[in-house]
């Protein structure tokens, strides 16, 4: 397993979710919206070939400066239009990037890039729906303060932001269930949700 990361923020907190989802024997992984490349580097400890893709040049330059390693490649490109071959990856991962693109288009693209039997692991940010989401917000603030104290502070998120996220959790779930039959989704306390889907081994599309 990768070495424990000393930095911490709400996105880094969910890296273990992605790493635990990597199927045994995976040969190629794609980190969508890789930012400074921390998850890309962690994936490279368990997958021989990892591509980190992001549209932002400055953040990719930072990734190349401190998150390099054997088997890692960085691309400045748009995941929706870059000419990857279909079914190229055993793992497609994305943390805090899906809300930067159309949800359906992003999920369709990531689905199509997976080999049969491959895994899609997404951690995303839902738009709050008031007052329905008030309990989640209160729990999130409490958890954030406790974890921030326990970790001794919080690392900045240097990648470009989109706020507020366009879709609520219910909207993302409806889109995911339509495009990814059998998808597993959860709400998480630190203002995040997770999406986990395995592409059927006998079908080219979910």
State pLDDT tens for residues 140-174.
555 555 456 566 655 555 556 666 888 999 999 99
Is 134's pLDDT higher than 80?
no
Highest mean pLDDT among 6-10, 53-57, 132-136: 53-57
The structure tokens listed for 3 are 């070495």
pLDDT at 37: 94
Alpha-carbon 47 to chain mean position: 16
Alpha-carbon 52 to chain mean position: 11
User: What mean pLDDT do residues 119-138 have?
Assistant: 79
Phi (first) and psi of residue 197, to 5 degrees: -145, 135
Q: pLDDT tens-digit profile of 104-128?
A: 999 999 999 999 999 999 999 998 7
CA distance 77 to 106: 14
pLDDT at 191: 79
Say if CB 76 and CB 57 are below 8 A apart: yes
pLDDT at 137: 63
pLDDT at 164: 82
CA distance 87 to 24: 17
Mean pLDDT of the chain: 86
Pairing relationship of beta strands 114-124 and 89-95 according to DSSP bridges: parallel
User: What mean pLDDT do residues 25-45 have?
Assistant: 96
Is 10's pLDDT higher than 80?
no
């Amino acid at each position: 397993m990768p070495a424990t990361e000393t930095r911490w923020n709400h996105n880094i907190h969910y890296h273990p979710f992605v790493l635990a989802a990597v199927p045994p024997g995976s040969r190629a992984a794609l980190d969508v919206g890789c930012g400074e490349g921390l998850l890309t580097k962690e994936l490279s400890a368990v997958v021989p070939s990892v591509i980190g893709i992001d549209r932002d040049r400055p953040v990719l330059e930072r990734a190349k400066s401190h998150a390099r390693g054997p088997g890692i490649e960085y691309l400045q490109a748009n995941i929706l239009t870059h000419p990857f071959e279909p079914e190229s990856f055993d793992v497609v991962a994305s943390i805090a990037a899906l809300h930067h693109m159309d949800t359906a288009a992003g999920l369709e693209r990531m689905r199509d890039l997976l080999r049969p039997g491959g895994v899609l692991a997404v951690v995303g940010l839902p738009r709050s729906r008031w007052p329905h989401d008030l309990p989640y917000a209160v729990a999130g603030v409490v958890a954030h303060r406790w974890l921030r104290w326990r970790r001794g502070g919080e690392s900045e998120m240097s990648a470009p932001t989109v706020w507020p996220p366009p879709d609520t959790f219910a909207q993302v779930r409806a889109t995911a269930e339509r495009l990814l039959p059998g998808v597993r989704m959860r709400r998480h306390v630190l203002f995040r949700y997770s999406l986990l889907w395995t592409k059927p081994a006998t079908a080219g599309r979910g």
